[in-house]
Structure 1
Amino acid sequence: MEIAENAALVVIDVQKGFEEEFWGKRNNPDAEGNIAALIDHWQESGRPVVFVRHDSPAESRSPLRLGHVGNDFKDFVQERRGKGRGPEVLVTKTVNSAFYGEPSLDVWLKEAGIGQIVIAGIQTNMCNETTARMGGNLGYDVVFPLDAMHTFDLAGPFGWSASGDELSRATAVSLHGGRFAKVVTTEDVLRAAG
């Protein structure tokens, strides 16, 4: 695997609201450390970083709603914003895909001549997976370090449910097997990024 000199790190929804009990049991307690390592490496190497924030409507009950402390980035992300040597942008969105946000992620990447994105953040099977699928459809080379993200146990139809680990595995198999993204580890990315 190669990581381009101008590959963009897309850090999705690492917000305080995901620490609330509302979501239930999460997986991958190492996610934040791996996300921080990726941000640090990207900033030190001068590569571009995209910070994505989910802005739920203020009147919603979502822990990510505007005006609620849960809308804020987690401290370890906020402390790193603006510290890199490379370009940085904040994209805000109200849906699952970072490609449907403001400013347009697709336009920003294309104007910068960026063809490869590395996705990290929250949640694995929701906004991360949706962004990866759209990125693949739009022609980007998508890299998906599975240990730099997490999700939560989830109930579905027919009395079915799946744990965060099961959902992460399903996402990894779908993205990698379907050729939407290369599913790797943080260590793989850091090694390839030099």
Structure 2
Amino acid sequence: MGNDTESTQRTESTQRTESAESTVLAVAADSALVVIDVQKGFEELGFWGPRNNPGADENIAALIDVWQGTGRPVVFVRHDSSKPQSPLRAGQEGNEFKEYVAERRGKGATGGGVELLVTKSVNSAFLGAPDLGAWLAGQGIGQIVLAGIQTNMCVETTARMGGNLGYDVLVAYDATYTFDLVGPFGWRRGAEELAQASAVSLHGGGFARVLTTKEIVAAAR
């Protein structure tokens, strides 16, 4: 019985993965780019530790430019940490968006696109203010593209919740990054290993399609 159950689970997982990979990528005309927590505080590596994917910021900027250039909606998410020692706590410089994001905010709106700022103090962008789900529903948006920080934290949590809520979720893997982390039993995992595990769970589990920035940009154009 146990082997039959495991075999069924593997088959279902494989089918979900093959189905996701065989689908032709289409980026909707009203697809919303959700830029998660691209804040100065994440530059404080003495606090966070080693990171992966040094090219993430360039890819995030490219996605914003394409979304704004094509008049698609962009959602900027900011994490207002309630933890006293966090570089992301409200009122601190680390709470501010990185310069390249701050410089781009508002440009989409002037070009006819729609922009939204969501603030939150937990992992999911769907649990911030204003209510992201309500805003997306009001705009008639059914597809979201996620980019930002951290891959296995706020990006993954938002992707999982978005998938559960019925959105078509695309994750621009190389437009995200994370940091080394220590878990239970003294287990330590490197940033790249954590990011890959997150991508496998999201994509293989059917929560989202995990793609490269190049693939998404090509489809959006």
TM-score range, shorter chain: over 0.9
**Could you tell me how far 1:23 is from its partner in structure 2?**
0.2
Q: Given residue 37 of structure 1, which amino acid in structure 2 is its aligned partner? A: A
Q: Given residue 63 of structure 2, which amino acid in structure 1 is its aligned partner? A: L
Gaps in structure 2 of 5+ consecutive residues = 1-24
Matched, 1:61 2:88: no
Greater helix share, structure number:
2
**Could you tell me how far 1:91 is from its partner in structure 2?**
0.1
2:100 is aligned to: 76
1:106 aligned residue (98, 108, 133): 133
1:47 is aligned to: 72
1:184 is aligned to: 211
Q: TM-score, normalised by structure 2?
A: 0.86
Gaps in structure 1 of 5+ consecutive residues = none
Q: Percent identity?
A: 67
Cα distance in 2, alignment partners of residues 22 and 112 from structure 1: 38
Deviations 1:116-160 (A, max 9, x none): 000000000000000000000000000001000100000111111
Cα distance in 2, alignment partners of residues 110 and 137 from structure 1: 15
Cα distance in 1, alignment partners of residues 136 and 30 from structure 2: 10
Deviations 1:34-70 (A, max 9, x none): 000000000000000000000012x611100011100
- State how 1:111-150 maps to structure 2 within 5 Å: 111-150=138-177
Q: TM-score, normalised by structure 1?
A: 0.98
1:172 aligned residue (193, 199, 203): 199
Q: Given residue 39 of structure 2, which amino acid in structure 1 is its aligned partner? A: Q
**Could you tell me how far 1:167 is from its partner in structure 2?**
0.4
How many aligned residue pairs are there?
Answer: 193
Cα distance in 2, alignment partners of residues 53 and 2 from structure 1: 28
1:26 aligned residue (51, 55, 67): 51
- 4+ residue segments displaced more than 4 Å: none
